[in-house]
Structure 1
Amino acid sequence: MTFRAGFVAIVGLPNVGKSTLLNAFLGERLAAVTPRAQTTQRRLLGIHSDETSQVVFIDTPGLLEPRYTLHRSMREEALSALEDADLVLAVADAGFEPSLDWADEFVHSVRVPKLLCLNKIDRVEVSGREALWARFAGGGWDGVYGTFATKGEGVPELLEALCARLPESPPLYPVDELSDAPVRHFVAEMIRETCLEELADEVPYAVAVRIEEFRVRKRGRPTYIEALIHVEKESQKGIVVGAGGRTIRKLGSRSRRKIERFLGGQVYLQLRVKVLPNWRRKTHHLRVLGFRVPARES
């Protein structure tokens, strides 16, 4: 039996559903997902394995015009994934014209095989879908597929098409692994995801989370996790903490429940907040927080 394996880069504009699609492929909630654009800040490997294939998905930050150093870091993360990919999965929001225009332009920018996923297809009337397919069919894509990723619709068919186009190869990772990222990464992302969900306006985008301590205790005692929430200003710290510590307690309670579901056991979560001035614009801060530093700024 022929076995196929390879890397598939998932790319697209912010907020088109790339991370939701990754979670749907894997059947696990690995990538942070919120209604906010730019939820994904760095690339993440997600691994799908079955009897005949292994797809190593590279989930990437949304391709956006960078306004500061963190944005440039995110863009480099996305573009570097294209260099490693055997296959590119471009994701566009089927109901958002700028995203469709992006797909029209992107198709000419990469030479490896590429599929187009028109996600959020539920936003398009059934009567209008034929014209949408006609717009992209034969336009340089190796296949065009429609999905409603939050409901899982169209996902199995797209996954099958991806697997069929991978090169013949033995598995690239152990077949029981879902990602190459450490558990600490997912814990930090769950806390940051909760901040994105709970905090208003610009504050969530100024949040970075670093796990200071992760200790698995024996004899059924809760896993001890201490996390540091970085913000850029004292005023933001006050918002994260909240009056009488109300907000940070809520963030901790919601994050803890997510982490416990992920780890399958009880967790004691300790959150602290620290100001790291202008961390999104300073390369040395980005390095400390584990981000890729843009080449021309390193």
Structure 2
Amino acid sequence: MDESRFRAGFVAILGLPNVGKSTLLNAFLGERLSIVTPRAQTTQRRLLGICSGPSHQAVFIDTPGLLEPRDPLQKSMRAEAMSTLDDADVVLAVVDVGFGPSIEWVDSFPAPADRPALLCLNKVDRISPAEGERLAAGWSGRGWAGVHRTSADRGEGVQRMLDAIVDLLPESPPLYPVDELSDAPVRDFVAEMIRETCLEELSEEVPYAVAIRVEQFRERGGGRPTYIEARVFVERESQKGIVVGAGGRMIRKIGMRSREKIERFLDRRVYLELRVKVLPNWRRKTNHLRLLGFRVPSEET
């Protein structure tokens, strides 16, 4: 590794909910690091994904979708997303070209003047090539260092996008060990996999009232599976009944599917124990948000 020519830096990924930011991060890394579901607001906290090559290290910051906050949780999510701009060497704004509000958002989000910014037109498989060219031409030369078209879930245009990002990074030695994929502890990924399963299995508003905290994570010798105990927090008793399900069927299903994901991630056997607890109105109470590990904006303290 020739560190005199090495490029490294932070890349903030911003955009509205459900435009494909997490899918794009996973495509850059070649690993399923960030959880992905069809539901909006799947990402609640920023996540670092480290993409290292022979001459570069791009540290991507996947952020919650930008939206007008309605409660302290959403204020925390927006503050988490916007705080990434303080650290970013490059800004990557992601647009879902098939979603009108996303296009309107980027029109009101000018390219930052103090650092390079790229515009990613994602999900171009949903529009015609001619429409993609028209949109790209419309934003070209408006302060963006480049406008790129991708279909992240298909991998189309992802490598070209990554090459353009690397070209904009400052010369620097690696910021993290080159064999790491993230700075987040394993517990965080385990909690996110359980939350992802809740988002997939539960209906209506219930999944958004779910928060996960890993209470115990113990490696056990003698060929025994790793023991993981996690709390599934909800806001009301009625939601607890839905998560548990008749005869405990739903929580067993969530536990089984979560365990399969965690075992693939850890590449070892796991014994997963889930407990459901009511934490009243946790999305609206700053002390509960802190308990669950969310950053609370200063105006909320």
Could you tell me the TM-score, scaled by structure 1's length?
Answer: 0.98
1:30 aligns with one of 24, 30, 33:
33
**Which residue number corresponds to residue 65 of structure 1?**
68
Out of 164, 168, 172, the position equivalent to 2:167 is: 164
| Aligned match of 2:55 | 52
Structure 2 match to 1:209: 212
Question: 2: CA distance between counterparts of 1:111 and 1:37?
Answer: 30
Distance 2:297 2:225 in 1: 39
Change (3 A) 1:226 1:111: same
Deviation at residue 219 of structure 1 after TM alignment: 2.6
Question: How is 1:259-278 mapped onto 2 (pairs within 5 angstroms)?
Answer: 259-278=262-281
Give the drift of 1:108.
Answer: 4.4
CA-to-aligned-CA distance 1:1-57 (integer Å, 9 cap, x gap): 410000000000000000011111111111110000000001000000010000000
Partner of 1:186: 189
Residue equivalent to 1:225: 228
Deviation beyond 6 Å, 4+ runs, structure 1: none
Match of 2:11 in 1: 8
Write the distance in 1 (CA, Å) between the matches of 2:155 and 2:123: 11
Residue 152 of structure 2 is matched in structure 1 by 149
Q: CA deviation at 1:297?
A: 1.2
CA 1:125–1:167 in 2, change beyond 3 Å: closer, same or farther?
A: same
**Residue matched to 1:291:** 294
**Selected match of 2:136 from 116, 133, 136:** 133
Between stretches 92-101 and 246-255, larger displacement belongs to 92-101
Out of 4-13 and 131-140, give the one that drifted further. 131-140
1:250 equivalent in alignment to 2:275: no
Residue 115 (structure 1) aligned to one of 95, 98, 118: 118
- What letter corresponds to residue 159 of structure 2 in structure 1? P
User: Is it true that 1:238 corresponds to 2:247 in the alignment?
Assistant: no
**Identity over aligned residues, as a percent?**
71
Counterpart-to-counterpart distance in 1, 2:279 and 2:103: 38
Superposition pairs for residues 78-89 of structure 1, below 5 Å?
A: 78-89=81-92
Unaligned runs of 5+ in 2: none
